[in-house]
Amino acid sequence: MMIISETVEEHTVDIMEQLISLVEQHPPLYNFQLPLAERSKTIKDMLWKDIYEAMGGCITLQELPKKWKALRDRYLRLKGKKQPSGSGATADHYWKYYKQMDFVDLAAETQETTSSIPPDPTTPTSIPQSSLS
């Protein structure tokens, strides 16, 4: 008879992977492009409570948003880093959650902004075609 040994690690879902997966299912927690009405404090508090319960309370309700912020901040920091030319290295080699966090990209893109300062009529906004010849 052959005994197969299995490690506890094979059956344990990484807590941070679980948190990332659960947050991904709740865009109001990470997508700042959603209207405020869809991501109000009340809504986010309810979603964090759902995640807390789904995770079986292994991270306190107060710590969940802090853990998520730390994960998101690290992802965005790595995403913004330029790798040395010719190094062949990519940011995902440095952090095991990098690929799992790629859903944050869309939400992290900057929105087009508008200015409350009226444009200066003396400043040209484009080059006239006649001056290009």
Q: Which residue has the tokens 């095991």?
A: 96
> How far apart are the C-alpha atoms of 69 and 48, rounded to whole Å?
13
- Residue pLDDT, tens place only, 37-77: 999 999 999 999 999 999 999 999 999 999 999 999 999 88
Q: What is the rounded distance in angstroms from the CA atom of residue 100 to the CA atom of residue 20?
A: 7
How far from 30 is each of 11, 36, 133, CA to CA, in Å? Answer: 28, 12, 49
pTM of the model: 0.66
| Amino acid code (one letter) for 132 | L
The pLDDT score that the predictor gives to residue 100 is 92
Q: Confidence band (pLDDT; 50, 70, 90) for 114? A: low
Question: What pLDDT score was predicted for residue 63?
Answer: 96
Q: What pLDDT score does 4 carry? A: 45
Domain boundaries, the chain: 13-79+96-104
pLDDT bracket for residue 132 (50, 70, 90): low
